[in-house]
Structure 1
Amino acid sequence: MRGLFRWALEAELVSIDPTFGVKNPARPKTGGFQAWTEDDVRAYEQRWPVGTKERVWLHVLLYTGLRRGDAVKIGRQHVRDGVATIRTEKTGTEVSIPILPALEETLKVGPTGDLAFIVGERKQPLTKESFGNFFRHACNEAGLQGRSAHGVRKIGATRAAEAGATVAELEALFGWTGGAMAMHYTRTADRKRLARAAAEKIRNAQRPHLGDEVRGKTDKSE
């Protein structure tokens, strides 16, 4: 409505813009697309084994970290010396992605197309819209209702961050800029590492006391 009245005001079709000064309504905060879990990946792979186009779909998304619109475009012509280079559709950022062994093996078996790794039933390229629908159906077949291609991108970023990838490395791999998105994943990964370290310290601190308790029970039983 705001855009419409701005246009109408400039076209002199109205004399007043009633949307001027109106604030956007508060929207409930959500986590966005549901991130995949490791169990989700296993369930999908169990339903769609190596040699199916659906397995290729998942592994291209999972091991490149590309958005759906870029994932349907990437093909062998983008790969040189084991590294895929593509300019992303959303930001125009050029990203260089090493082809990991798991993805290389999946692509070797296929099926893939001549110019795109992700293909449909007759090895034809897919638009991002049609691929989104097909991938959602494949997820449903694997019992993963509500999962999406973007959710795979999230678990890819989580894996990278938990493996120790820095903000700069995440931005280079996923085509992000500004640091905010990459820092979200590194902060989460750091919290997990710190929580594990803290839990280990607590266990170490408790060991001597647990030993006393065990000795006390032994003395009573004697």
Structure 2
Amino acid sequence: MTIRDPACEESGMPRKLPLHVHKQLTRHKKWVFYFRIGKGKRIRLPSPADPLFKSAYMAALTGSPIEAPKVHEGTLGWLWERYTTESAKWAGYSAATQKQQRLIMAKVLEKNARHALTAFTQDVIQEGVDKRHETPAAAGNFLKTMKGMFSWAKKMRLVKVDPTVGVEPPGYKTDGFPAWTVDDVKAFRGKHAIGTPERLAMELMLLAGLRRSDVVLVGRQHINGRILSIDTMKTGARVTVELSDDMLKVIEATPRRGLHLVENAHGKPFTKESFGNWFRVKCTEADVTKSAHGLRKLSATLAAEGGAATHQLLAQYGWSNIATAEIYTKGVDRKRLGIEASRIVADQIGNIEIPHPNSGEGLSAKNAGKTTSKK
């Protein structure tokens, strides 16, 4: 059983608190949470948004409580708590980014929560990056988390020096998720017929370029006529696309119980994670060794090859960084410009005049004529 919690709604935390969990506003204007049954002992819990909350709550519920450690001023745990409750930068992150960074910090704080902030030097942060070198993405995310927290702390004068300044990010190059090909689309269509949720999901991602976090949310309420508009989960940018006749037919042919266009086998909407796992299985069934994100890449490539300009790609795919759109347009432009340049070179080659011969059959015949006339 859960109850609605208006305070949590305002702070971006879950709108409902579990049974026996109570909140209290401290003199520092900060919400703290306790577990208490009736008039029994109060047990301090982590924030409901903290990855450690669930285990602490279950321990209290079963009679073996794990008290949330006391946070001492000037420690890493203290800074992280202030950063995640007071920083506008943190509040501006998407729910997915906040979750990712909380999981990263949960592991860091296990051993370092009570360490003084002065202990975290540039060398220490660089060491943290370097020890994650076998997983460059994890190293990069660790550094982003630390940069966000310490840059804010420096501006708020909570630390004298930002230890992340000058720290080298992991050196690696990757093209990320492999893009789908046209043959992949044909193979998927050949395996999954119109009327199945997997076919609808694939066609939506291909036409609209939706991320998996948006595919699980999009529904009838986002469609007006043949126009689909949705605020993307990752960036909050609104994308608006026109649905083709074929796309509308696929939508109409796919049965559903609720508003969501893509539902699981129980008629419920997917979570982002469960959708990714489910869709990968459907890809494997069609002998397509790609992911949902790779389909978005093909969509952007087709748009660029069809002549879509940078600003059009920004609008359709919800990107805020022009460099992302130029990844697709530059490659197409280079190909087009290269072809055009080669045609110019060919024309110039054609303008090169063929010189008159100075020797050969013509000259021999001329000399032969002169010899005859002398005779």
Name the TM-score, length of structure 1 as normaliser: 0.81
What do residues 72-107 of structure 1 show as CA deviations (whole Å, max 9, x unaligned)?
111111111311111111111111111122211211
- What residue is the counterpart of 1:220 in the other structure? none
Matching residue's letter, 2:307 = G
User: C-alpha separation between the residues in 2 aligned to 1:31 and 1:44?
Assistant: 23
Q: Please say if 1:98 is aligned against 2:242.
A: yes
- 8 Å CA contact retained: 2:76, 2:116: no
Q: 1:114 to 1:195 in 2, by over 3 A?
A: farther
- What residue is the counterpart of 1:42 in the other structure? 186
Q: 1:150 to 1:6 in 2, by over 3 A?
A: farther
- What residue is the counterpart of 1:139 in the other structure? 283
User: C-alpha separation between the residues in 1 aligned to 2:219 and 2:78?
Assistant: 48
Q: 1:123 to 1:9 in 2, by over 3 A?
A: closer
Matching residue's letter, 2:116 = V
Q: Please say if 1:157 is aligned against 2:226.
A: no
User: C-alpha separation between the residues in 2 aligned to 1:14 and 1:67?
Assistant: 41
Unaligned runs of 5+ in 1: 208-222
What do residues 11-51 of structure 1 show as CA deviations (whole Å, max 9, x unaligned)?
87436324425324533110011111111111111111212
User: C-alpha separation between the residues in 1 aligned to 2:117 and 2:223?
Assistant: 57
Q: Which has the larger radius of gyration?
A: 2
- What residue is the counterpart of 1:119 in the other structure? 263
Q: Secondary structure at the match of 1:107?
A: helix
Q: 1:198 to 1:15 in 2, by over 3 A?
A: closer
User: C-alpha separation between the residues in 2 aligned to 1:79 and 1:32?
Assistant: 31
- How many equivalent residue pairs? 203
Q: Please say if 1:167 is aligned against 2:310.
A: yes
Matching residue's letter, 1:115 = L
Q: Secondary structure at the match of 1:129?
A: helix
- What residue is the counterpart of 1:192 in the other structure? 335
Instruction: Identify the range of structure 1 (64-73 vs 115-124) with the bigger mean alpha-carbon deviation.
Output: 115-124
Q: Secondary structure at the match of 2:180?
A: coil
User: C-alpha separation between the residues in 1 aligned to 2:348 and 2:252?
Assistant: 51
- What residue is the counterpart of 1:68 in the other structure? 212
What do residues 107-150 of structure 1 show as CA deviations (whole Å, max 9, x unaligned)?
121134431111112332111111100000001111112x1111
Q: Secondary structure at the match of 1:95?
A: strand
Once the two structures are aligned, what percentage of the paired residues are identical? 38
Greater RCO (CA < 8 Å, at least 6 residues apart): 1
Q: 1:7 to 1:61 in 2, by over 3 A?
A: same
Name the TM-score, length of structure 2 as normaliser: 0.49
- 8 Å CA contact retained: 2:75, 2:115: no
- 8 Å CA contact retained: 1:79, 1:85: yes
Q: 1:9 to 1:197 in 2, by over 3 A?
A: same
1:7 to 73, 76, 89: 76
In the TM superposition, what is the alpha-carbon distance from 1:205 to its structure 2 partner? Answer: 8.2
- What residue is the counterpart of 1:80 in the other structure? 224
Matching residue's letter, 1:7 = L
Q: Secondary structure at the match of 1:16?
A: helix
User: C-alpha separation between the residues in 2 aligned to 1:15 and 1:93?
Assistant: 36
